[in-house]
Amino acid sequence: MKIIVLGAAGQLGSCIKKVAAERNIHDLLFATQENGNILDEALLNKLLDREKPEYVINCAAYTAVDKAEDEQELCRRINRDGASNVAKACKQHNASLVHISTDFVFKGNVAYPLNETDPTLPENIYGITKLEGETAIAGLLPEHFIIRTSWLYSEFGNNFVKTMLRLGKDRSELGIIADQIGSPTYAIDLAGAILDITESESKSYGIYHYSNEGVASWYDLAKAVFDISNMPLRLNPLKTAEYVTKAVRPAYSVMDKSKIKSTFGIKIPYWRDSLAKCMEQLAVTA
């Protein structure tokens, strides 16, 4: 079974590469920007025609949430048009698609875990374009798995956990938002879940939610980072109104993972346990 990973140089692509190596899964092709640019339909078709994959995992996305407000056209080209291009190529070459989406497709105005059928109403350009990408895929390719995730971090790329560790070395005090609630997700865990789905060869296509178990605020996550790393930093909880950003973020975007757990038998770790594992890896590579 051959799998192509698009956006392979990013955080999640790097995690898939690591987990695949640990599992001795060798039939993965990690596409580069040169041979797997999702904005180039002809290039994508050439790649899939040559490799003939059973699955394509699309990790490519525009993810700079605040910058997207100023680069709306580029964000939409990547998150909507790019997703559409990948779906068309998969359709033409009989491949199933695993596409990564986001909790930001929700408004975040309800205080209960959101399931896959709850109404979507994104409030920023990033979320809007990711939802447009979901819609494009669903209309073009029945053989799709759309996985919404949240608050990704890992030992790879740029992310909140690594930012906190960097700031913790230089500062004695930080203010962190405490009234945005979600579920942190270790991208290594998500990578494992994606490979579980492809290895299952399941035809249970559709939208799924995946994040680590448990609930946290950004303040909670930062506090855990500094507790685990034994950094004596003073943290001050902030309200969203005290830390204004260009993009509006969901106040509550905890997702219900019952569907992915029951469909694929996936066991999801608690967020703080996974954070500790990531911190161990970061300490090793420091």
The pLDDT score that the predictor gives to residue 145 is: 98
Residues catalogued as catalytic:
126
Residue 286 banded pLDDT, cuts 50, 70, 90 = low
Do the beta carbons of residue 4 and residue 36 sit within 8 Å? yes
The pLDDT score that the predictor gives to residue 246 is: 96
| Structural domains of the chain, with CATH | 3-159+184-213+254-269 (3.40.50.720)
Residue 115 banded pLDDT, cuts 50, 70, 90 = very high
H-helix or E-strand containing 237?
strand 234-238
The pLDDT score that the predictor gives to residue 211 is: 98
Mean pLDDT, residues 261-274? 98
Burial class (CB in 10 A: 0-12, 13-18, 19+), 82: buried
Do the beta carbons of residue 20 and residue 4 sit within 8 Å? no
The pLDDT score that the predictor gives to residue 180 is: 97
Residue 111 banded pLDDT, cuts 50, 70, 90 = confident
Go through 234-263 and write b for each residue having 16 or more CB atoms within 10 A of its CB, e for each that does not. ebebbeeeeeeeebbbbbbbbbbbebbbee
The pLDDT score that the predictor gives to residue 267 is: 97
The pLDDT score that the predictor gives to residue 284 is: 80
Mean pLDDT, residues 263-268? 97
The pLDDT score that the predictor gives to residue 285 is: 76
Which of 24, 38, 22 lies closest to 4, judged by CA? Answer: 38
Is 62 or 33 the better-scoring residue by pLDDT? Answer: 62
H-helix or E-strand containing 263?
helix 258-264
The pLDDT score that the predictor gives to residue 174 is: 96
Report the mean per-residue pLDDT for the chain. Answer: 96
Mean pLDDT, residues 80-108? 98
Mean pLDDT, residues 173-183? 97
Asked if residue 4 has pLDDT above 70, the reply is yes
Residue 149 banded pLDDT, cuts 50, 70, 90 = very high
Mean pLDDT, residues 227-240? 94
Global pTM value: 0.97
Share of the chain above pLDDT 90, in %: 95
